[in-house]
Structure 1
Amino acid sequence: MARTQFMTAGTRDEMFCPQLPQAGRVLPPTKEKTDPGELTPLLESKKSKQPSVDSKTAEEDFNDNLPNRRGIGISIFKKIKMVTLLGLASTAFIVIMINPELSLEQYQICVSMKEPHALDMLHKEETTIEFLIHAPVLDADAINSTMRKTMPKLTITINTSEPWDLYLDENALRTGNQKAFKHEFSCCLSTHGGSYQIFFSTDWEESIPIVFSYHPLNSLVHEQVVLAAIILACVYFLIIFEIVHRTLAAILGSMATVAVLASLNERPTLEEIMSWLDVETLALLFGMMIIVAIFSETGFFDYCALVAYKIAKGKVWPLITLLCVFAGVVSAFLDNVTTILLLTPVTIRLCQVLDLDPRKILIAEVLFSNIGGTATAIGDPPNVIIVSNQELAEKGINFSSFTEHMVVGIVFISIAGYGLLRVFYRNVKLLQNQDPPELRELQQEIAQWRRAAHHIVVASREESMVRALLLQKVATLETLMRNQIYKRKARETKDFEASVEDLEKKCRITDYVLLGKSGVVIVLVILAFFLHSFIESMYVGLGWIAIMGATLLLVLADISDMESILHRVEWATLLFFAALFTLMEGLAKLGLIDWLGDQMGLVVSLVSDEHRLTVAIIAILWISAIASSFIDNIPYTTAMVPVLVKLSEDSRLNLPIMPLVLALAFGACLGGNGTLIGASANVVCAGIAEQHGYGFSFIEFFKIGFPMMLVTTLVSMVYLLICHVALQWH
């Protein structure tokens, strides 16, 4: 059984100790008695100056009570935190329960100049009505004033509200292509029976088919953007200060978003919420986690660490350069999440070999993975969204033209980013582990034993005994570690040849058969990842490819113990992404992302003609970079593409589409380096590092990632202004 295999990590004599605590308990810290022979000369010189008995007793009492006071303070904080979060979560649950799900009844009518249409709606007290329509029409904002005078018009009014004008698209009418539009009417009740009456009229002689629905909104609808911003700020507050785990923070934020939607009479159904999840990304993560879990059993990651150590000659900066360049180049042709999943275990093992702190190396690696993914149309999800958009494709933005403009900029951005990294890591000593290797190995061993104990589900007496034995082993190792803290030895420095000889004994391939099977599957998966964007007859996405690869490897490897493989899947990371997708889609429905787009369009429209393109590039780039640092760049890019199309089609602005799209791509992709949850690769890297005992916090990532985002965005701005304002490359 997999649950009992952990006992092989130590001998039976190590497992059973005569002075171990009760089963399942961890030994408390014990006061070590100092050997008089080990006293330092400084302490020996002060023997004659010992304090009095009373003062010594008072000092000991204070020191003994200090941990208790701290413990009481921590306990009070935890109780306040629990009560506060419990109250907020309960409130959200109650709001969701007392508000019904939104169920819209659709109406189908035909309107012509000779046959206008009127409809009495249900009696409602709300003064704001949200109206949704599907018809062969165009919005007034997409048409210039000259065309409006000649195009047939469809006018919709509710009671005495301002009329909503839409313009007939004759091509869409002939082809049956209906477009969806949404509008909010602010109106008052009719004097005839206190009801709402909706009225359709047109100056087109033929019939116009219309499908519409409506529902009332309460008075909070005007503050929904503010509520969305408050929810997002609260989620970041919980994550930044590590009040709760980031997964729980995202879950609480998504629940709060659904509760706000419910209070606005817009509560989504469970099926709609499930549709918000990016199943493609979740399937990609799950499949690749399974593949990496099996692949790691071959010893290949240890062997790669040894090879990289030889190439770098045991020096730190050649190693960092090698990892960053490799991560950037591979991410340009593969999804950067896949790159990080494969590269993070190798980096952690390599840092252990070089006696480096993996946290800072991993942060540098994931930053350059995001930079490299920006270079091509398949390296980062925002680029995929842009290139796959049909309206942008009709305007000449395809894979080759988009990649051509992006690659040149990424070369300069990578050089600037590498220079900034040299500044951050100029003191190589700070990259090294401060603890001696013996103590660090004990810490890792303790973490592994404790994780093994927590993974055992106690369903029988035997399983309870195994878990107790594992926790006893943890207690024994913790006691040994405390003893070593008082007897720290200086770090031994070995020459390069001796280190290589020592590593060759430890870092080797352990299963060549499994390595061959895993290698074949990984090569096929990576090849399919690369080809799926170019072969139109390949009707599977990245998620399907990863799941197929994981299934194939499970069959080839003849895995019988599924639990040991599933234990290595980062379930917390998958749940975090699921909650984050729900949170971001909910914020989008509350209008936060649309509000950002409207503000961007407002800024651009207020500028004079000669400076409009410059201001548009700067505004789109920096707003996208800052926004993508704090919200997921996938829904942001999806919402911003129609905004850019509208700006380019506005004849009054006269803006070319290519510079606007490039500014969006640079901002959305590079902005992901700003915070820990700004990009999917960041979260995946943090989850794997935490699984290996090297987790890094939001603040640790922010100190390096946010300045990197500012510098790289600044370089991309200079590049875009030179190429598309000064040189008019587009």
Structure 2
Amino acid sequence: FSKLFSSRSKTTDFTEKTPLLKVSSEENGLRCVALHNPDFTTDDDSWDNSSTDFEQRFQLGSEMASLSRSASSEKYEILDNLHVKFNLSKMRRCLKFLKVSCLFIFVVVCSILFGIYPDQGMPWQMLAVSPLESFSMNLTDFRDSTLLRLDIGGPFAADVVDQQTEEYIVVQVSQAEDTGSRRRRQQQVVYNWSIPLSSRRNHQVITTRTFQMPNRGTVFINIQAFLQEPGSVPLSMKHQYLNANIEAQVTIASIILVGVYVLIILEIVHRTLAAMLGSLAALAALATVGERPSMVEVVEWIDYETLALLFGMMVLVAIFSETGFFDYCAVKAYRFSRGKVWAMITFLCLIAAILSAFLDNVTTMLLFTPVTIRLCEVLNLDPRHVLIAEVIFTNIGGAATAVGDPPNVIIVSKEELRK
């Protein structure tokens, strides 16, 4: 054929029209040519064009299939991610609810234990002993308790020089040991407690000692004074029963301490709440053991001097941070060092140590950290090593003065150390 499509129709009634063909009348006939190529084409060109179109269509189909597969895979991945996120959020909610429930149960149990056991502290008993007259007392209400604690107040020697005196009192605590029916005579457990007296009789010192009793029998207490000159020694005494021995008390205290540190280190709760939970557990443990403190004692345990110092330090640090004092110190250190690395690190450490000697070292370090990181980025340094050096110097500066750290204030506020 010389043309793609050319024919003469014997009938003039053929009126077929399609959108892909261009129809024109010529000599009582029709000539139809493809719209995309109005020119005259040969058979070879038509086969080549058809194969090219087939290849393009095949590639387009494969690309569409791959796109559909990738879209479906992305859809499934999004659904999987949403499912995983939903499970994680649900697990987090469950863990949060479990944490709150455990804390609530813990607080309720500690409060119940602290309220069940009453204050068993006995009132102080006034007495006087001399070389010729001793004091004796029998304790018959010693039931399930395993320890007996005696608190004695008097003119006792507190210094090493006064302890070399030859005047002292002897406290004898004894109890008959129940050995069974094999032996006729009962054995006695005797404790002797010698307390040296001071030359200054107007100075009162309270000493405490705990005795372990083997059974529930009657406890005998005898107090006698040994003096170089005739006279009497005024004393005050009270006793208290404990339900746990020394090893059990140390174990309970260790468990409470480790629990508080676990709460703080793992950041399960805020450290303030962790300290409050530890104090509540300690009060409940003391009540269970038999040493339930009164409200007056609990209030006396609060160190108001340390709290006032911390409050003043926090106010000063807040004012300095608002005025940009720490940023100014860091910039001055950078200028004085003139871009030298070791000089800048030395200046920063010295400034941190000097400020920590008078301010709270933890807050000072927290305010120095952002400036230090920015300076290290300018000098292309790893800020971790610089921050470690600053932390070491802040601890040194805080330990250098009595007001640099709260433990220093607690230690210095003791009357024994002041003397």
TM-score, scaled to structure 1? 0.41
Once the two structures are superposed, the pairs formed by residues 496-535 of structure 1 within 5 Å of their partners are: none
- Pick closer, same or farther for the CA change 1:346–1:222 going to 2, 3 Å: closer
- Provide Cα deviations, 1:181-215, integer angstroms capped at 9, x if missing partner: 11112236786xxx544221234353122111111
Structure 2: gaps spanning 5 or more residues? 1-62, 177-188
Is 1:260 paired with 2:278?
no
CA shift, 1:98, in A, is: 1.3
- Provide Cα deviations, 1:110-135, integer angstroms capped at 9, x if missing partner: 11222111124462312421111112
CA distance in 2, matches of 1:391, 1:277: 18
Is 1:177 paired with 2:203?
yes
CA shift, 1:348, in A, is: 3.2
CA distance in 2, matches of 1:385, 1:111: 37
Once the two structures are superposed, the pairs formed by residues 279-318 of structure 1 within 5 Å of their partners are: 279-314=304-339, 317-318=342-343
Equivalent in the alignment of 1:58: 76
- Pick closer, same or farther for the CA change 1:343–1:92 going to 2, 3 Å: closer
- Pick closer, same or farther for the CA change 1:137–1:240 going to 2, 3 Å: same
CA distance in 2, matches of 1:377, 1:249: 27
Equivalent in the alignment of 2:196: 168
- Provide Cα deviations, 1:498-526, integer angstroms capped at 9, x if missing partner: xxxxxxxxxxxxxxxxxxxxxxxxxxxxx
Structure having the higher helix fraction is: 1
CA distance in 2, matches of 1:138, 1:351: 57
Equivalent in the alignment of 1:426: none
CA distance in 2, matches of 1:248, 1:352: 33
- Pick closer, same or farther for the CA change 1:103–1:56 going to 2, 3 Å: same
Once the two structures are superposed, the pairs formed by residues 526-565 of structure 1 within 5 Å of their partners are: none
Equivalent in the alignment of 1:198: 221
Contact 1:119 1:198 in 2 (8 A): yes
Equivalent in the alignment of 1:208: 233
Q: Secondary structure at the match of 1:253?
A: helix
The alignment covers a number of residue pairs equal to 337
- Letter matched to residue 185 of structure 1: F
- Letter matched to residue 76 of structure 2: A
CA distance in 2, matches of 1:379, 1:121: 50
CA distance in 2, matches of 1:77, 1:142: 61
CA distance in 1, matches of 2:104, 2:298: 23
CA distance in 2, matches of 1:134, 1:70: 62
Pairing partner for 1:99 from 117, 129, 152: 117
Equivalent in the alignment of 1:187: 213
CA distance in 1, matches of 2:314, 2:354: 21
Contact 1:309 1:350 in 2 (8 A): no
Structure having the higher strand fraction is: 2
Pairing partner for 2:106 from 73, 76, 88: 88
- Pick closer, same or farther for the CA change 1:389–1:55 going to 2, 3 Å: closer
Contact 1:221 1:264 in 2 (8 A): no
Contact 2:171 2:221 in 1 (8 A): no
CA distance in 2, matches of 1:390, 1:103: 25
Alpha-carbon RMSD across the aligned residues, in angstroms, is 3.8
Q: Secondary structure at the match of 2:231?
A: coil
Equivalent in the alignment of 2:47: none
Q: Secondary structure at the match of 1:211?
A: strand
- Pick closer, same or farther for the CA change 1:118–1:226 going to 2, 3 Å: same
CA shift, 1:263, in A, is: 0.8
- Letter matched to residue 257 of structure 2: L
CA distance in 2, matches of 1:208, 1:142: 20
Q: Secondary structure at the match of 2:199?
A: helix
- Letter matched to residue 307 of structure 1: K
Equivalent in the alignment of 2:26: none
Contact 1:190 1:197 in 2 (8 A): no
Contact 1:111 1:117 in 2 (8 A): yes
CA shift, 1:57, in A, is: 3.6
Is 1:345 paired with 2:357?
no
Q: Secondary structure at the match of 2:290?
A: coil
Equivalent in the alignment of 1:129: 148
Q: Secondary structure at the match of 2:344?
A: helix
- Pick closer, same or farther for the CA change 1:49–1:307 going to 2, 3 Å: farther
- Provide Cα deviations, 1:63-110, integer angstroms capped at 9, x if missing partner: 221211211222222222222222222111111111223543001111
- Letter matched to residue 173 of structure 2: T
Equivalent in the alignment of 2:172: 156
Deviates more, 1:371-380 or 1:62-71: 371-380
- Provide Cα deviations, 1:633-666, integer angstroms capped at 9, x if missing partner: xxxxxxxxxxxxxxxxxxxxxxxxxxxxxxxxxx
Once the two structures are superposed, the pairs formed by residues 565-584 of structure 1 within 5 Å of their partners are: none
- Letter matched to residue 157 of structure 1: V
Contact 1:102 1:265 in 2 (8 A): yes
CA distance in 2, matches of 1:276, 1:229: 20
Contact 1:153 1:168 in 2 (8 A): yes
CA distance in 2, matches of 1:57, 1:382: 59
- Provide Cα deviations, 1:552-595, integer angstroms capped at 9, x if missing partner: xxxxxxxxxxxxxxxxxxxxxxxxxxxxxxxxxxxxxxxxxxxx
- Letter matched to residue 116 of structure 1: S
Deviates more, 1:46-55 or 1:62-71: 46-55
CA shift, 1:250, in A, is: 1.2
Please tell me whether Structure 1 or Structure 2 has the larger radius of gyration of its CA atoms.
2
Pairing partner for 1:112 from 100, 116, 130: 130
- Provide Cα deviations, 1:283-307, integer angstroms capped at 9, x if missing partner: 1221232234344444444444433
- Provide Cα deviations, 1:321-345, integer angstroms capped at 9, x if missing partner: 32212223454xx4452x6656753
- Letter matched to residue 287 of structure 1: G
Contact 1:158 1:185 in 2 (8 A): no
Equivalent in the alignment of 2:35: none
CA distance in 1, matches of 2:200, 2:123: 24
